[in-house]
Amino acid sequence: MCGIAGYVSPKNYDLSILDGMVKALLHRGPDAQKHLIQKTSSFVGLGHSRLSIHDLSSAGEQPMISSNSRYTLCYNGEIYNFKDIFRRLNKQFNIQWSGNSDTEVLLNSILYFGLKDTLAEIRGMYAFAVLDKKENKLMLARD
């Protein structure tokens, strides 16, 4: 399983803290380690240590930013029905997919269906943080 980390700071950020958090998760995901800081009304840092399962390419790396840059997702787990959600998204919307990871499906589901409907739809084991830059909210969810 992957590892996720993050923090919120109202006044400043220290990238070395987030970097250290992600490095401490190396045992959870040896395939890639990434982090980013985004400025909303606060500084939000999200980090990810990846264990590649569904999409072995870099298209599945996180934190992942939505196509309209509104949402940033940092996710750990597996969405068992992501292929069903993928088909539903493709039927209703014209989405340009970067890869075939359940992460990208989860992010697009949040983008197009909203978080509440996405949580009602997904089946699996998961924990994630999603930053909504438009609403200035950091939302956390777990199964």
Three-state secondary-structure class, residue 113: helix
Token pair for 112:
């197009």
Among 2, 107, 110, 131, the active-site one is 2
Would residue 2 show up in a list of annotated catalytic residues for this protein? yes
The rounded radius of gyration (Å) of the Cα atoms in the chain is 14
Q: What is the DSSP letter of 106?
A: H
Token pair for 88:
């539903």
Catalytic residues: 2
